[in-house]
C-alpha cells in the first residue's frame, strides 16, 4: 500500500496540516459517504427497476430477438444482475469510477454472472462497438440509473443522447421508459429566506440588503431537500401540481437547451417566490410500474411512503417575486439545458419573448453564503437574542471587534451603542460584500473592515486602541462540523495582545452537547448492504469497512437533522465546555461519564452540537431546540448542520432495545495543539452479553 502526504487546512486551528494517507483514501471515503447503501436499501426503487427490466426483456424475447443490455452507471452491478436473471443474453455494465467498477466486477463474479456481464471501466461516451471494441454488438435494452434529485443533474441527457446514437440498435427498449417532471408554484417566507437577505429590524431602524442583492437572480444550483419535513404552514400553494415535461427514453434524446411553457390559473392571492418540483419514472410503456419522488403529503393517509436520501425533492427560487391574484392566468416557464433546470414566471402573452438565460449570482452573496447561512441571517428571533445580549455588554465607549464570516453582528453592535466597530473578513469577496452592506445602510464611515487573518492584525489596524469587546456568532465558512467554529477561540488567542485587560469576549463560552438517538430513516445510509433483491453485494460492506480504518472516516458526519426525524433515547448532556475568556490551553482537556438511556428504541448513534453562552443568562443552540416529553421526538435548529456518528453496530444489524442497554459511556479529549476532539462511546448493556453490537470507538477531528 503506497502512502502519500495530503495538505489540509485545519478548520479549527486554521493551520495547514500535512497528513499521511493511503493513495486510494479519497476513493474509499467517496464510496463510504456516497448514497450506495441508501440506494441498495431503497426497496421500492429496486422492486420497480426489477419489474421494469423483466418486462423489457420479455418484450424483446417475444419479438424473437436476442436481449443485449447496456447498463450505464452500473454502480454495484445490481441492475445488470437483474437483467441477466430476467433472461437477458448478455449485459455490458459501464462504470466510470474505477473503485466502483472493480467492486461491480467482484460482485458480478461472486453471484455467478461473470460469463454474461462485462464490466467496462469507461465513460459511456468513450465506449466503442465492434470486433475489437468494448462491445461486440449494439444493445437493444438500455438500462440507466443516471438520475439525481433534479433528474438530469448527473449528465443523464448527454449520456442518453450519445448512447442512443452510438451504442444502441435502431429500435430499443428503455428502463426507465419515461420520466415526468412536476412543479408547484408557492409562496413561502421560510424557503425564500434561504435565497435573499431580508430586511432586519433593529431598535434604531432596519438593516437593508444592497440593491444588487435584492435584484440578484441568485445561485443557479437547485436546492434539494426532504420536502416531506416541511410543515403545512411553511408554504402556500399558488398553483395546482403542474406537469412540466415528459422525457421518453425509448426515443432519441436531445441535450439541447429547451423551454417548457406551462400556463396555470392562480389558486390564491399571494407572492410567487418558489417552485417545488419532483419527478416520476415509468418503468414500462403502459405506466403500470411507477417510481415516484413526490413528497409524503401527496400520498394517501396511512400509505407507506418510500424514504430516499439519494433522490429528494427540488426547491427552485424564482429570479424575482411576482404578485398574483386568485383566478389570474399566469405562465410558468421551465428552462432546461444538458445539466440543470431553472424557472421564470411571466404573463402568458409574454411567454415566448422570455429569455432562457440561466440565472447566475451578480451580487456575490450567493457565492459566499449557502442556503442555510441565508436562513440564519434572516432568523429574526435568533438575531434578537444576539441584540439583547449585546445590549448587556456594549457601551458607547466600547472598541468592538467582530470575528465571524459575513456576520450582521457589527451592525447590531453599532445599533446598540458601540461607536467604534471593526470587523474581520476572511476574503476579498467577503470584504466587498460587507462593504456594500455598510454603504447601503450608511455605516461605511462607522464600521471598519479589516481583510486580514487574526494573527496579522497590528495596532495600526485598530488605530492604536485596545479591543474592549471581541464578539462573534461564531460562524466560519470553512466549518463543516459544529466544533469547527472553535476557530473563534484560536483567533481570540491570536488577538490576545490587542485585547484590553478587562476585554469582554462574546460568546463567553461554547459547550459540546450529545444525545443518543433512534433515527426514523437516516440510519439506512450507513446500514449493511449484504443482500439486495436476492443478490449478494456484501463487497460494498467490505469496502466501506475498509474505509473506516482511515482517520478521517471516523469523524462524525454533518447532517441537517431538521430533515431527518429522530427520537431522543437519552437526555441531552453537556460533555465539555470551552471558555473563550481564557486563551486556548496548552494542556489537553478531558471529560468522561455516561449517558443514561431513558427511552426504549434502537440505538442508531449519537448527535453532537454546539451551544453558545452569549452572556450569563442568554444562550443559543446550533442543535437541539426541544424534545417531546411524550414521544422523545426532537426539534433541531434548521440553519446549521449537526454532527452525527452512527454506531458501528449498524454494520452487523439486529435491533438492540435500550431496555438491555442501560448506559453509553464516553471519554473525550480535546487536544489544543492539533485542534482535535477525540472521543470514544461504549454502549454498556445492563446484563453482560446482552448486547449484540460491537464496541464503538470514535476519533473526531
Peptide bond before 507: cis, by omega within 30 degrees of 0?
Answer: yes
CA dist., res. 167 & res. 463, Å (int): 70
Q: Contact, 293 vs 286, CB < 8 A?
A: no
Q: What is the pLDDT of residues 112-148, one digit of tens each?
A: 999 999 999 999 999 999 999 999 999 999 999 999 9
Output the CA–CA distances (angstroms, integers) from residue 268 to 86, 320, 326, 570, in the order listed.
50, 18, 4, 45
**CA-wise closest residue to 637 among 622, 654, 618, 627:** 622
Find all residues with CB under 8 Å of 294, minimum gap 6, and list them: 182, 278, 280, 313
Beta bridge partners of 205: 202
- Of all residues in the chain, the percent with pLDDT exceeding 70 is 89
| Helix, strand or coil, per DSSP, at residue 112 | coil
Neighbours of 278 (CB within 10 A): 23
User: What is 34-80 written as a DSSP string?
Assistant: SSHHHHHT-HHHHHHHHHHHHHHHHHHHHTT---EEEEES-TTSHHH
Phi, psi (5° rounding) for residue 597?
Answer: -85, 120
Query: Is the per-residue pLDDT at 437 higher than 50?
Result: yes
Report how far apart the first and last C-alpha atoms of the chain are (Å, whole number).
24
Q: Is the dihedral of CA 211, 217, 219, 223 positive or negative?
A: positive
- For 646, half-sphere exposure in the C-beta direction (CA atoms, 13 angstrom radius) is 23
pLDDT band at 257 (very low <50, low <70, confident <90, very high): very high
Q: What is the pLDDT of residue 241?
A: 98
The sign of the torsion formed by the CA atoms of 63, 69, 71, 72 equals negative
pLDDT-derived band of residue 385, with 50, 70 and 90 as boundaries? very high
Query: ∠ CA(659), CA(665), CA(666), 5° rounding?
Result: 145
Pick the CATH number of 36-175 from 2.40.10.340, 3.40.50.450, 3.40.50.150, 1.10.287.40: 3.40.50.150
The pLDDT of residue 21 is above 90? no
Q: What is the DSSP string of 350-369?
A: GGGG---PPP--SSSHHHHS
Phi, psi of 371, deg, nearest 5: -60, -45
> Would you state the pLDDT for residue 235?
98
Distance in angstroms (rounded) separating the CA atoms of residues 557 and 604: 14
Check whether domain 179-362 has CATH 1.10.10.60, yes or no: no
What does the mean pLDDT of the chain come to?
89
Q: Which fold has domain 509-700?
A: 2.70.160
Per-residue pLDDT band at 33 (split at 50, 70, 90): low
- Give burial (CB, 10 Å; 0-12/13-18/19+) of 198: middle
Query: Taking 70 as the threshold, does the pLDDT of residue 209 lie above it?
Result: yes
Average pLDDT over residues 465-479: 95
pLDDT of amino acid 8: 57
Tell me, letter by letter, the H, E, C secondary structure of 602-618: ECCEEEEEEEEECCCCC
In this predicted structure, what is the pLDDT of residue 651?
Answer: 39
Alpha-carbon distance values, 155 to 162, 252, 338 (Å): 11, 16, 7
Catalytic position from the list 154, 320, 321, 533: 154
User: Would you say the CATH fold of 179-362 matches that of 36-175?
Assistant: no
Question: Distance (Å, rounded) from C-alpha 355 to C-alpha 349?
Answer: 14
Please say if the pLDDT value at position 686 is more than 60. no
Environment class of residue 110 by beta-carbon count within 10 Å: exposed (0-12), middle (13-18) or buried (19+)?
Answer: middle
Contact 343, 218 (CB under 8 A): no
492: number of CA atoms within 13 Å, CB side? 30
Please give the pLDDT value at position 551.
Answer: 36
Q: So what's the pLDDT on residue 699?
A: 29
Rounded CA gap, 655 and 630, in Å? 22
Query: Is the CB of residue 48 less than 8 Å from the CB of residue 289?
Result: yes
CATH superfamily ID and name for 379-506: Vaccinia Virus protein VP39 (3.40.50.150)
CA 207 to chain centre: 29
Q: Is the pLDDT of residue 685 over 80?
A: no
3-state helix, strand, coil in the chain (%, to 5): 25, 35, 40
Structural domain spans, the chain: 36-175, 179-362, 379-506, 509-700
Question: What gap in Å lies between CA 551 and CA 22, rounded to an integer?
Answer: 11
What is the DSSP code (8-state) at residue 522? G
Which of 89-98, 301-310, 633-642 shows the lowest per-residue confidence on average (mean pLDDT)? 301-310
pLDDT digits (tens, 9 = 90+) for 509-542: 999 999 999 999 999 888 877 788 888 888 777 7
Whether 374 contacts 363, CB under 8 Å:
no
Catalytic residue among 95, 145, 173, 557: 145
pLDDT-derived band at 389 (thresholds 50, 70, 90) equals very high
In whole angstroms, what separates CA 255 from the centre of its chain? Answer: 27
Q: Say which DSSP state 694 is in.
A: P
Q: Tell me, yes or no, if 145 is annotated catalytic.
A: yes
557 annotated active-site: no
Per the listing, cell 431503497 goes with 42
Torsion 415-416-418-421 (CA) sign = negative
pLDDT tens by residue, 593-617: 999 999 999 889 899 999 999 999 9
Name 532's bridge partners.
535
Amino acid at each position: 500500500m503506497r502512502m502519500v502526504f495530503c495538505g489540509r487546512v485545519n478548520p479549527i486551528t486554521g493551520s495547514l496540516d500535512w497528513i499521511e494517507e493511503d493513495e486510494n483514501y479519497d476513493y474509499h471515503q467517496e464510496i463510504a459517504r456516497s448514497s450506495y447503501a441508501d440506494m441498495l436499501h431503497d426497496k421500492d426503487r429496486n422492486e420497480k427497476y426489477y419489474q421494469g427490466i423483466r418486462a423489457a426483456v420479455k418484450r424483446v424475447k417475444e419479438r424473437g430477438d436476442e436481449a443485449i443490455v447496456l447498463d450505464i452507471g452500473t454502480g454495484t452491478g445490481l441492475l445488470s444482475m437483474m437483467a441477466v436473471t430476467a433472461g437477458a443474453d448478455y449485459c455490458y455494465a459501464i462504470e466510470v469510477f474505477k473503485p466502483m467498477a472493480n467492486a461491480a466486477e467482484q460482485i458480478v463474479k461472486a453471484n455467478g454472472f461473470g460469463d454474461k456481464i462485462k464490466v467496462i471501466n469507461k465513460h459511456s461516451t468513450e465506449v466503442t462497438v465492434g470486433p475489437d471494441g468494448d462491445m461486440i454488438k449494439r444493445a437493444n435494452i438500455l438500462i440507466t440509473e443516471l438520475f439525481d434529485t433534479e433528474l438530469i443533474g448527473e449528465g443523464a441527457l448527454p449520456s442518453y443522447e450519445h448512447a442512443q446514437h452510438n451504442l444502441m440498435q435502431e429500435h430499443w427498449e428503455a428502463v426507465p421508459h419515461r420520466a415526468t417532471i412536476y412543479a408547484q408554484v408557492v409562496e413561502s417566507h421560510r424557503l425564500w429566506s434561504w435565497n435573499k437577505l431580508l430586511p432586519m429590524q433593529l431598535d434604531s431602524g432596519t438593516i437593508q440588503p444592497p440593491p444588487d442583492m435584492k435584484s440578484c437572480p441568485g445561485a443557479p444550483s437547485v436546492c434539494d431537500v426532504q420536502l416531506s419535513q416541511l410543515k403545512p404552514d411553511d408554504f402556500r400553494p399558488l398553483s395546482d401540481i403542474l406537469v412540466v415535461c415528459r422525457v421518453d427514453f425509448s426515443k432519441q434524446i436531445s441535450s439541447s437547451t429547451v423551454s417548457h411553457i406551462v400556463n396555470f390559473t392562480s389558486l390564491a392571492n399571494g407572492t410567487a417566490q418558489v417552485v417545488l418540483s419532483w419527478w416520476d419514472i415509468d418503468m414500462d410503456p403502459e405506466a403500470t410500474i411507477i417510481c415516484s419522488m413526490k413528497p409524503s403529503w401527496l400520498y394517501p393517509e396511512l400509505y407507506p411512503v418510500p424514504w430516499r436520501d439519494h433522490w429528494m425533492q427540488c426547491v427552485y427560487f424564482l429570479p424575482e417575486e411576482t404578485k398574483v391574484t386568485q383566478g389570474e392566468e399566469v405562465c410558468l416557464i421551465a428552462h432546461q439545458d444538458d445539466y440543470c433546470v431553472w424557472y421564470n414566471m411571466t404573463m402568458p402573452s409574454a411567454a415566448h419573448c422570455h429569455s432562457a438565460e440561466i440565472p447566475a449570482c451578480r451580487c456575490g452573496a450567493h457565492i459566499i453564503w449557502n442556503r442555510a447561512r441565508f436562513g440564519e441571517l434572516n432568523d429574526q428571533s435568533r438575531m434578537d437574542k444576539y441584540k439583547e445580549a449585546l445590549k448587556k455588554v456594549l457601551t458607547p465607549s466600547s472598541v468592538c471587534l467582530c470575528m465571524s464570516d459575513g456576520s450582521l453582528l457589527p451592525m447590531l453592535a453599532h445599533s446598540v451603542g458601540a461607536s467604534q466597530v471593526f470587523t474581520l473578513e476572511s476574503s476579498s469577496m467577503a470584504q466587498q460584500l460587507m462593504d456594500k452592506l455598510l454603504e447601503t445602510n450608511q455605516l461605511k464611515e462607522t464600521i471598519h473592515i479589516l481583510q486580514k487573518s487574526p494573527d496579522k492584525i497590528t495596532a495600526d489596524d485598530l488605530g492604536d486602541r485596545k479591543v474592549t469587546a471581541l464578539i462573534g456568532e461564531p460562524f466560519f465558512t470553512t466549518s463543516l462540523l459544529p466544533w469547527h467554529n472553535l476557530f473563534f477561540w484560536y483567533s481570540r488567542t491570536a488577538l490576545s495582545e490587542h485585547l484590553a485587560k478587562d476585554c469582554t469576549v462574546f460568546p463567553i463560552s461554547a459547550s459540546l452537547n450529545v444525545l443518543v438517538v433512534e433515527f426514523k430513516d437516516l440510519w439506512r445510509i450507513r446500514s449493511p448492504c449484504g443482500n439486495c433483491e436476492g443478490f449478494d453485494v456484501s463487497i460494498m460492506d467490505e469496502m466501506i469497512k475498509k474505509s473506516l480504518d482511515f482517520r478521517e472516516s471516523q469523524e462524525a458526519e454533518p447532517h441537517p437533522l431538521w430533515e431527518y426525524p429522530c427520537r431522543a433515547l437519552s437526555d441531552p448532556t453537556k460533555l465539555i465546555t470551552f471558555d473563550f475568556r481564557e486563551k486556548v490551553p496548552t494542556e489537553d482537556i478531558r471529560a468522561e461519564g455516561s449517558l443514561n438511556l431513558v427511552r426504549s428504541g434502537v440505538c442508531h448513534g449519537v448527535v453532537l452540537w454546539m451551544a453558545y453562552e452569549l452572556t450569563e443568562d442568554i444562550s443559543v443552540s446550533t442543535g437541539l431546540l426541544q424534545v417531546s416529553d411524550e414521544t422523545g421526538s426532537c426539534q433541531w435548529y434548521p440553519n446549521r448542520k449537526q454532527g452525527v456518528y452512527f454506531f458501528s453496530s449498524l454494520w452487523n444489524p439486529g435491533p438492540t432495545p435500550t431496555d438491555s442497554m442501560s448506559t453509553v459511556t464516553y471519554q473525550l479529549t480535546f487536544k489544543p495543539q492539533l485542534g482535535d476532539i477525540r472521543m470514544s462511546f461504549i454502549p454498556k448493556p445492563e446484563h453482560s452479553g446482552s448486547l449484540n453490537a460491537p464496541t464503538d470507538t470514535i476519533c473526531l477531528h
